[in-house]
Structure 1
């Protein structure tokens, strides 16, 4: 079985555009580069990955292109563009050219925006139109408060290939997931929306058992089905709660429980199809 990690990061804090790292756990405030992941990925049996932006700058996206060219396991890059810029379309087109086939999607860091309705602003329409026209995926990095705005955005762009990062960050640790459940039910009715089975362990408070993510995972399978779920490691953020192989094994166990026989889809085929990755790597 070909395994594709649909969500991993590299970063180099010395570059200076990772503002969020100042509030991150100390263990994450260092560089994480291809050499740090290669052996872990190989040991886990993961052949390929999608590299996702971690800084709100086009310069970082171009930096990721360079790292991807050094790391043969990386088959796609999800980058960042200022979607509010007057020339957002030209910026997107420029990034796609510079990526030379690597750029497969864009991810505004919506979770860090104060206005919960930002994603539904009309000022972003042209940028999303451009993403849709260029067949670039939209990674939705949101919290439950921003799920209503995401629903409105997707309604305006019914052909946009979209994926919910980290399942929309359900409040697993706090037990007040009613709002998240309602919006997941609503969003899952939009067939172009996929969801990443990623980032769930890091939502647990210290001392919580990993079994606490089970009901959330079951709900995702119930609503999205195995054909719209993509496994991702969220490495190196993952390292604050588990190692790479452990999360992969746990996700495989949960997939076998809730969607028996669908491992190949969740752990590889769905990511290949969603991000329109080079199918020749499967041969």
Structure 2
């Protein structure tokens, strides 16, 4: 079965914009480039990836677009602009001319104001995002989901994907599930919103076993359905918790009870359709 990784990163510690990961995250505090990921995807049957920004700088988006241009397996790029800076719209138009540019990701989880996405100052830029047919990656946590419901209702023509299942606090067990489940279900009621089955292991801590993760995975499958759920690795952040192949194997085991066509949706087709990836 052909697999698409809907969420991965590259970075260089020497880049002028580099500020994360920090040295305390020793397992991933090094450069990551296509040559590092290629053996992982070749060993697991992943054919294409979506390269996602990791720093809130225009220069970083240009950097990953250059990588994508030279890297066959990178089928799409999700970049960054400052949605509150009208001057950045020139850069957005320039990015949109790139054949592999798919959309934008503001780093909402790092913004103190949980209602930031509802600021009127974002509306002109988001209108351009919509006009250009681009996507919006929502990097949020459970505390952002109430605002996200209002956001997606305000922009019904904006294709939105929730990164990492909105980062439920799996390490807290039932408490983490209860704080997240109803909120994510409310967002899932909006049919133009999809979700990434990614990033869960780094939220799990010691609760990373199949029995710990299954209630969260089942809830995402039950609320979004296979038609609006896409697998992603979140590599190399994933390496803080698991090898690349182990996470993909775990997800394959979770979805094995679904039909073959439903498995294909989660493991590739939803990402291809949402991001309009080239064959």
Q: Decide: shared fold, TM above 0.5.
A: yes
- Structure 1 pair 24–50 and aligned structure 2 pair: CA distance change class (3 A): farther
Matches within 5 A, 1:1-283: 1-22=1-22, 25-97=25-97, 100-175=98-173, 176=175, 177-206=177-206, 208-257=208-257, 259-261=258-260, 262-278=262-278, 281=279
- Asked whether the 8 Å contact 2:210–2:250 carries over to 1, the reply is no
Structure 2 CA distance, aligned partners of 1:264 and 1:45?
13
- Asked whether the 8 Å contact 2:170–2:207 carries over to 1, the reply is no
Structure 1 CA distance, aligned partners of 2:271 and 2:121?
30
Task: Provide the secondary structure at the position in 1 that maps to 2:106.
Answer: coil
**TM-score where L is the length of structure 2:** 0.95
- Asked whether the 8 Å contact 2:86–2:125 carries over to 1, the reply is no
Structure 1: gaps of 5 or more residues? none
- Asked whether the 8 Å contact 1:144–1:170 carries over to 2, the reply is yes
Deviations 1:231-250 (A, max 9, x none): 00100011111111111111
Structure 2 CA distance, aligned partners of 1:109 and 1:72?
27
Structure 1 CA distance, aligned partners of 2:100 and 2:24?
28
Structure 2 CA distance, aligned partners of 1:220 and 1:127?
30
Structure 1 CA distance, aligned partners of 2:10 and 2:245?
18
Task: Provide the secondary structure at the position in 1 that maps to 2:170.
Answer: coil
1:210 Cα deviation (Å)? 4.3
- Structure 1 pair 248–179 and aligned structure 2 pair: CA distance change class (3 A): same
- Structure 1 pair 251–208 and aligned structure 2 pair: CA distance change class (3 A): closer
Deviations 1:140-197 (A, max 9, x none): 0011111112111111100111100000001111132323111111100100000000
- Asked whether the 8 Å contact 1:166–1:195 carries over to 2, the reply is yes
Structure 1 CA distance, aligned partners of 2:226 and 2:132?
27
Structure 1 CA distance, aligned partners of 2:185 and 2:251?
22
- Asked whether the 8 Å contact 1:89–1:126 carries over to 2, the reply is no
Deviations 1:18-68 (A, max 9, x none): 323227511111101111111111011101110000010111011001111
**TM-score where L is the length of structure 1:** 0.94
Structure 1 CA distance, aligned partners of 2:161 and 2:207?
30
State which drifts further: 25-34 or 177-186: 177-186
1:208 Cα deviation (Å)? 4.5
- Structure 1 pair 113–239 and aligned structure 2 pair: CA distance change class (3 A): same
Structure 2 CA distance, aligned partners of 1:170 and 1:77?
25
- Asked whether the 8 Å contact 1:204–1:210 carries over to 2, the reply is no
